[in-house]
Amino acid sequence: MDAIEALKTRRCIRAYTAEPVARNVIEDIVNCARLAATARNEQPWEFVAVTEREALRRIAGLTDYGKFIADAAACVVVLCKDTKYYLEDGCNASENMLLAATAHGLGACWVAGDKKPYAETVRKQVGAPDGYKVVSLVPFGYPAESPQKPKRPLAEVLHWEKF
Residue 96 lies in a domain: yes
- Domain hosting 68: range is 3-157
Report the pLDDT value the prediction gives residue 145, as an integer from 0 to 100.
Answer: 86
Q: What is the pLDDT of residue 150?
A: 86
Structural domain contains residue 34: yes
Residue 17 CA to chain centroid, in angstroms? 18
Q: What is the pLDDT of residues 82-130, one digit of tens each?
A: 999 999 999 999 999 999 999 999 999 999 999 999 999 999 999 999 9
Residue 131 lies in a domain: yes
Q: Is residue 82 part of a domain?
A: yes
The CATH number of whichever domain residue 117 belongs to comes to 3.40.109.10
Residue 116 covered by a domain: yes
Residue 163: inside a domain: no
Domain contains 12: yes
pLDDT digits (tens, 9 = 90+) for 43-68: 999 999 999 999 999 999 999 999 99
Structural domain includes residue 162: no
How far is it, in rounded angstroms, from Cα 149 to Cα 145?
Answer: 12
Answer yes or no: pTM beyond 0.85.
yes
Instruction: Annotate 24-35 with b (16+ C-beta within 10 A) or e (fewer).
Output: ebbeebbebbee
Q: Cα–Cα distance between 24 and 39 in angstroms, integer?
A: 28
The H or E element containing residue 95 is: helix 86-103
Number of domains in the chain: 1
